[in-house]
Amino acid sequence: MTNREDSFQAIWKAIRAGKKFFIAGHLNPDGDSLGCTLAMTSLLERLGKTVYAYAAPAIGNDLKFLPGLDKVHVGELPQKPDFDTIILLECSDRKRGGDLDYILDAAKTLVNIDHHLVSDAYGHVNHIDSGASSTAEIIFQLYEACEEGILPTPEEATCLYTGVVTDTGRFVHTNTTAEALRVASALVALGADVQKINQVIYFTKSYIELKLLGRALEKMEMRFDNKYSEIILTKRDFETFGATPSQTQGIVSQPTMIPGVEISALIKEEPDKVSVNLRSRGRADVSRIAQQFGGGGHARAAGCKITGKTITEVADALAEVVQDVVKQLG
């Protein structure tokens, strides 16, 4: 597709033509991935389509309030891949949604909607806009491009607003563009439940999560002229508080508040792998670092998962790459 209006029309064509849809976001669903899956599912059902919505486990407690979640098959893939149309949201490549090949290969039409900087055009229809704050922003624009004048319901608006607000870090990251704010404003006007979203996502933390945050900050180390902050959480750290590696939301962003820190890393020892979350204060592109370890993401927020290495080996290998990057920043 050459331009964005064309690809929106191509998506609507696929929606009108399709009867049985499969919709999925990426592994470790975040607010954008899940919010878009839910809004899209609701929209298609309103249009009389049959929808199988899938989300990989596990859904964070902060996203369980999202309207329509009961319709999503969490961790349950369909037995028979008898769908005519697939919509993959937020998946920069066809593996990001998990092992979906048997479903994707069987479908007539594969629609790919994404906003990642590095993204494959693996669909029959692709709408990739790395200038968009979130996939939710793109989905709202898709509604606007609809000739029939279909608008999000208040529930769909709540799901999409959640995507915009979480991907922009509550309208803080550089992707907080005029367009992102325009879309957010329109979604509020359509009935997005902003109070609830703020309360659940931003003003709720468990005792365990706060204790783990304390441990993480205690273990934070500054390296390479204080330009690199490294937090290593081992199995033992999680066990101490009865916590799981998924209860670390927001921790990796904390060190970027320190003036001079260019890159922050949170390295976690998980049962079968080591996972790395990376944040940049703005000058370094951490998606490039993550790519070197088989991961990906955005310039300011990226990550990777590494198997077959100890947490110390991962931390050392990562530090070596980071050292070069911060050296080049000067």
Residue number of the CB atom closest to Mn ion: 32
Q: What is the smallest separation between the CB atom of 29 and Mn ion, expressed in angstroms?
A: 10
- How far is residue 137's CA from residue 181's CA, in Å, rounded to a whole number? 9
User: Which position has the token pair 């820190």?
Assistant: 261
| Residues at the interface with Mn ion (CB under 5 A) | 32, 134-135, 167
Burial of 93 (0-12, 13-18, 19+ CB in 10 A): middle
Q: What is the smallest separation between the CB atom of 296 and Mn ion, expressed in angstroms?
A: 12
Q: Are strands 109-114 and 85-89 parallel, antiparallel or unpaired?
A: parallel
Nearer to Mn ion by Cβ, of 41 and 135: the residue is 135
Q: What is the smallest separation between the CB atom of 167 and Mn ion, expressed in angstroms?
A: 4
Check whether the bond before 58 is cis (ω within 30° of 0).
yes
Nearer to Mn ion by Cβ, of 32 and 193: the residue is 32
- How far is residue 40's CA from residue 294's CA, in Å, rounded to a whole number? 29
Nearer to Mn ion by Cβ, of 18 and 297: the residue is 297
Q: What is the smallest separation between the CB atom of 23 and Mn ion, expressed in angstroms?
A: 15
Q: What is the smallest separation between the CB atom of 40 and Mn ion, expressed in angstroms?
A: 14
N-terminal to C-terminal alpha carbon distance within the chain: 40
Q: What is the smallest separation between the CB atom of 322 and Mn ion, expressed in angstroms?
A: 24
The DSSP secondary structure of 136-180, one letter per residue, reads HHHHHHHHHT-TT-----HHHHHHHHHHHHHHTTTTTSTT--HHH
Run of H or E residues at 36: helix 31-46
Nearer to Mn ion by Cβ, of 36 and 314: the residue is 36
Nearer to Mn ion by Cβ, of 90 and 230: the residue is 90
Nearer to Mn ion by Cβ, of 32 and 156: the residue is 32
